Amino acid sequence: MSDLFVSREHILQGGYFHSTLRKLQEPDTSIEPHNIMYPVFLLENVDAIQPVASLPNVNRYGLNQLIPALTDLVEKGLKSILIFGIVETLPKDPTGSSADSPFNPVVKALPILRATFPSLLIATDVCLCPYTSHGHCGVLTETGAIDHAASVKRIAEVALIYAKAGAHVVAPSDMMDNRIKAIKDALIASKLDNQVSVLSYSCKFASCMYGPFRDTMKSSPMEGDRKCYQLPPGSAGLAARAAARDVAEGADFLMVKPGLPYLDIVRQTKNQFPTHPLFIYQVSGEYAMICKSGDSSEIQNTLMETLTCMRRAGADCIITYFAPLVLSIINKK
């Protein structure tokens, strides 16, 4: 056959034979420090440090242990953290009173972290499940169903306390309808709406991949599951409606969680709201899977390919327990 019949547009390899050309072929997929957020587990006992059995190389820290660990990471380029509080001696009760008590480890640590790390962006997870006696993310009615109005009210109260204590970003992970509006209203009433942003866990699925995290946080529901508030894994439609709901209520940032099995939802959400920075939470089960993907160089390669694909799908920032490893990889390059 004569080459007249071969379209010149079918010759692709001339466009990516060199590593610099390959970079141009992958726009918006670079991994820089501002594309990574590091989740941190904060204990009540300021001097404690506890490894997490289900998550290799992840620790739970008291504040006095967290500060040196973060000092090292900030030197390596860490730009943002997401804090989860864990209570061991404070009481768990039906309304999660310890979430926003003055003795809560997050409330106590925020002013100190702000002063110690002036340029670090500090986000706090906002949820009731680590603090409720029943382990659900909201307040329950007498029959054990979610009391929606009471839940939203409590979640907004907790978010406001974290904002007042110094959080730059509050990140409600409960998935109750209308909590974004309640949080924004509370921020406005306290004149904090221009100093605190709301990162909504907008498209959070009822995933089995949160298992290692729930062990870490001791936050599994005592009875039932979270399928009445977290989204069914097969539903792209509810994900679109949840993102639209949270944008309408004033969310600054959206999130898809988990990440890797949900990259279609990431692309859908980015196309739906190109105006809103989009986060992925690479959850504990994803972390555990990649940790088992091979030796240390195979783990690093799998991780970086995964993060590149998350960026390609539309994620602007990835919340990952691998943040220390990512920083060390990108600093070597």
User: Footprint of ligand PBG on this chain (CB under 6 A)?
Assistant: 125, 127, 129, 137, 173, 210, 213-214, 226, 283-284
Exactly one of 184, 257, 270, 292 is catalytic; name it: 257
Partner from ligand PBG, Zn ion, none binding residue 95, C-beta < 5-8 Å depending on class? none
Give the CA-trace dihedral at 145, 148, 153, 155, to 10 degrees: 70
87 contributes a contact to Zn ion by CB under 5 A: no
CB nearer ligand PBG, residue 213 or residue 273: 213
CB nearer ligand PBG, residue 109 or residue 129: 129
In the complex, the smallest distance separating the C-beta of residue 173 from Zn ion, rounded to whole angstroms, is: 5
129 contributes a contact to Zn ion by CB under 5 A: yes
137 contributes a contact to Zn ion by CB under 5 A: yes
99 contributes a contact to Zn ion by CB under 5 A: no
Exactly one of 153, 204, 227, 270 is catalytic; name it: 204
In the complex, the smallest distance separating the C-beta of residue 162 from ligand PBG, rounded to whole angstroms, is: 14
CB nearer Zn ion, residue 127 or residue 278: 127
Which residue type is seen at 25?
Q
Q: Which residue has the tokens 């390919």?
A: 305
- Cα 150 from Cα 129, distance rounded (Å): 14
180 contributes a contact to Zn ion by CB under 5 A: no
Q: Which residue has the tokens 């600054």?
A: 252
- 216: three-class secondary structure by DSSP: helix
In the complex, the smallest distance separating the C-beta of residue 173 from ligand PBG, rounded to whole angstroms, is: 4
In the complex, the smallest distance separating the C-beta of residue 210 from ligand PBG, rounded to whole angstroms, is: 4
CB nearer Zn ion, residue 137 or residue 163: 137
Among 63, 99, 109, 127, binds Zn ion (CB under 5 A): 127
Catalytic residue flag (residue 332): no
3-state secondary structure 255-301: EEECCHHHHHHHHHHHHHCCCCCEEEECCHHHHHHHHCCCCHHHHHH
70 contributes a contact to Zn ion by CB under 5 A: no
Catalytic residue flag (residue 181): no
CB nearer Zn ion, residue 37 or residue 137: 137
In the complex, the smallest distance separating the C-beta of residue 180 from ligand PBG, rounded to whole angstroms, is: 15
| H helices present in the chain, as ranges | 19-24, 63-75, 105-116, 148-165, 179-189, 211-217, 236-248, 263-272, 284-291, 296-313, 323-332
Contact 197, 171 (CB under 8 A): no
Q: Please report how the helices 284-291 and 296-313 are oriented relative to each other, as an axis angle in degrees rounded to 10.
A: 140
The structure tokens listed for 66 are: 């967290």
- For every residue of 172-194, DSSP letters joined together read E-S--TTHHHHHHHHHHHTT-TT
The structure tokens listed for 151 are: 């839940």
CB nearer ligand PBG, residue 127 or residue 139: 127
User: Residues in contact with Zn ion, total (CB under 5 A)?
Assistant: 3
Residue number with the smallest Cβ distance to ligand PBG: 213
Cis? peptide before 258, omega within 30° of 0? yes
In the complex, the smallest distance separating the C-beta of residue 27 from ligand PBG, rounded to whole angstroms, is: 29
- Cα 162 from Cα 164, distance rounded (Å): 5
Phi–psi pair at 241, nearest 5 degrees = -70, -35
- Annotated active-site positions, please? 204, 257
Instruction: Write out the residues near Zn ion by the rule CB under 5 A.
Output: 127, 129, 137
